[in-house]
């Protein structure tokens, strides 16, 4: 595969565009080494008559293989004519944006959630539910379920947790039908959520 121009390389990324020569046969893309890269690629021409998608495999720190895969519902042949592909290989956490903020600062801002959050799915609960909670900072975390008399009926987390989103499975199959309160307590604050258990 030939290149339409030299790939552009920056801190943690390389972008490029192939010539009009990517087909149904695996072709090689290459870039300067990026640890655990993320590959974004798309077909930028529409030379074939059938619906097609771009596939990739063998992703390494220095390249990947790509091909155009034609959809086969209209006919059984999957041969495809040549296409032009635009692509970007990104280091994990790199965000390309306009403005003054460098990609590392954007990644740091994304890494820690800004607020404490708590949710349950499904709600109403019939047997099992998943409680999701988001912590803006690491620290002591206590997650429990209480009946309306204030008695703890389940403790789902009691210890130190990292910043980010966490999940806890709730088995409410032995709970009496009714309303319960889920309470999340952290150094960043507390959140409560009402759940309804039904049969």
Is 165:149 a contact under the CB 8 Å cutoff?
no
Assigned CATH for 117-197: 2.60.40.1930
Sorted by sequence, the CB contacts under 8 Å of residue 182 that are 6+ apart come out as 118, 120, 131, 143, 144, 145, 146, 192, 193, 194, 195
Q: Where are the domains of the chain?
A: 8-110, 117-197
Q: Which helix (H) or strand (E) holds 195?
A: strand 189-197
Each residue's pLDDT tens digit, 69-89: 877 666 666 677 888 888 888
Rounded CA gap, 7 and 31, in Å? 8
Judge whether residue 110 has pLDDT over 50. no
Q: What is the pTM of this model?
A: 0.46
- CB half-sphere exposure, 110, CA atoms < 13 A: 11
Question: What are the angstrom distances between the C-alpha of 118 and each of 24, 34, 66, 136?
Answer: 47, 36, 41, 12
Average pLDDT over residues 105-130: 75
**Quick one: pLDDT band at residue 107, thresholds 50, 70, 90?**
very low
Domains 8-110 and 117-197 share a fold: yes
Assigned CATH for 8-110: 2.60.40
Each residue's pLDDT tens digit, 151-196: 999 999 999 999 988 999 999 999 999 999 999 999 888 999 999 9
Each residue's pLDDT tens digit, 22-64: 888 999 998 888 888 888 888 887 776 677 788 888 888 889 9
């Amino acid at each position: 595969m030939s290149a339409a121009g030299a790939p552009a390389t920056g801190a943690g990324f390389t972008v490029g565009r192939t010539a009009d020569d990517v087909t149904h046969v695996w072709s090689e893309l290459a870039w300067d080494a990026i640890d655990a890269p993320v590959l974004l690629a798309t077909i930028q021409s529409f030379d074939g008559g059938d619906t097609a998608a771009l596939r990739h495999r063998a992703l390494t720190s220095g390249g990947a293989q790509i091909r155009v895969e034609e959809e086969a519902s209209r006919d059984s042949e999957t041969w495809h004519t040549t296409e032009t592909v635009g692509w970007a290989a990104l280091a994990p956490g790199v965000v390309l944006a306009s403005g003054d903020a460098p990609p590392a600062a954007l990644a740091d801002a994304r890494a820690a959630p800004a607020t404490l959050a708590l949710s349950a799915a499904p709600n109403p609960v019939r047997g099992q539910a998943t409680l999701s909670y988001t912590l803006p900072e690491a620290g002591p975390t206590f997650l429990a379920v209480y009946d309306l008399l204030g008695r703890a009926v389940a403790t789902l987390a009691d210890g130190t947790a990292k910043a980010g989103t966490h999940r806890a499975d709730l088995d409410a199959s032995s709970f009496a039908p009714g309303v319960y309160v889920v309470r999340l307590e952290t150094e960043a604050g507390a959140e409560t959520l009402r759940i309804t258990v039904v049969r």
